[in-house]
Amino acid sequence: MKSLKKLLISAIILIVIGFLGLGTVCVLGFVSSGITNYGTGKGYTFGQEDFCNMGRNSTSSQEDKNLSFEAVRDLSQTYITKYDQNLKITEIMEFSKNYYVEIAEKDTGIGAMELLADKSTGSVFPEYGPNMMWNLKYGMRSMMNTSNAISNMSIDEEKAIDIATSYLAKSGTNEYAGDEAERFYGYYTIHTTDKDGNILGMLSVNGFSGDVWYHSWHGVFIDMQEYN
C-alpha cells in the first residue's frame, strides 16, 4: 500500500511539473523529447531545452507592432552593442511569424549568432535551434575551446550544401538548397528555395556530424535585406 501511495505521489508530482510549463523544465533541468524536425532525412530533434534561454537578455519595445526592417535593425543593433562591440548585422529576413537577424564578427566576417525579433512586441532574443545548441562560441556551449571551431570542422561549405540538398530531396517539401552556406562556429546555415530559386526558408548543417536542423519556426518567407 505504501509503495502504491509513493507511486501515486510521484505521478502527481510529474503531472504538476508538466502543467507548470517551460520555466520549471528549465529550472529543474528536465529534458523533453520536444518537437521533432519534419522530413525523412538526417534530422535533429527540437527539444524543450532549446527554449530555456529564449527571451533572456532580450531587447524589446512594447510599442513596436508590425515592425519595419528599420525598427528591427535598430533593436538588433542595440542588442548586439550591449553584447559585443565586434558584431555587425549582415542580413534581416521577414517571415510571417518573426524576423530573422544574422549577425557576423566585424574582424573575421564569420557568422557569430542568429537572432529572432517578435513581430508583435519587438522583443529581440537568440534564435533557438542550432544557434543555441551547435554554436561553439556564442551559444549554450560557448565555454568550450573555440579557437579551432571553424578550421576543425570536417565538413566544408560545399559538402554542407550537398548534405542539405540530399536532406531536402528526401523531405518531400519541394524545397532546394541555396548555393551559399553561411559559416558559424560549428555549423552552416543555408537558405532553402523553390525550383526557381525564390527563398522559402532555411536550415542548418552541423559542421562536424552533418546533422540537419530545419528552421521550422519562421513561417512563410516575405522579404529580406542584406547589409555590408
| pLDDT over 90 at 27, yes or no | no
Q: How far is CA 41 from CA 23, 95, 128, 171, 189, in A?
A: 32, 24, 21, 6, 17
Q: pLDDT at position 179, please?
A: 96
**In the predicted model, is pLDDT for residue 67 greater than 80?**
yes
pLDDT tens per residue across span 110-124: 999 999 999 999 999
Rounded to 5 degrees, what are φ and ψ at 3? Answer: -65, -40
Of 95-109, 142-156, 191-205, the one with minimum mean pLDDT is: 142-156
Strands 124-126 and 111-118: antiparallel
Q: What is the per-residue burial (b if ≥16 Cβ within 10 Å, else e) of 30-58?
A: eeeeeeebebebbbbebbbbbbbbbeeeb
Distance separating alpha carbons of residues 103 and 168, to the nearest angstrom: 25
- Using an 8 Å Cβ cutoff, are 79 and 111 in contact? no
Question: What's the pLDDT tens digit per position in 137-163?
Answer: 998 865 555 556 677 899 999 999 999
Supply the mean pLDDT for the chain: 78
Classify 147 as helix, strand or coil.
Answer: coil
Half-sphere exposure of 33 (CA within 13 A, CB side): 1
**In the block, which residue shows the cell 522583443?**
123
pLDDT at 187 over 70: yes
CA distance 219 to 171: 17
199: nearest Cα among 172, 179, 228: 179
Q: Is the pLDDT of residue 1 over 80?
A: no
Residue 173 has pLDDT above 70, yes or no: yes
**Across residues 53-69, what is the average pLDDT?**
55
Cell 542548418 -> residue: 204
* Cell numbers representing residue 204 in the block: 542548418
Q: What is the pLDDT of residue 86?
A: 95
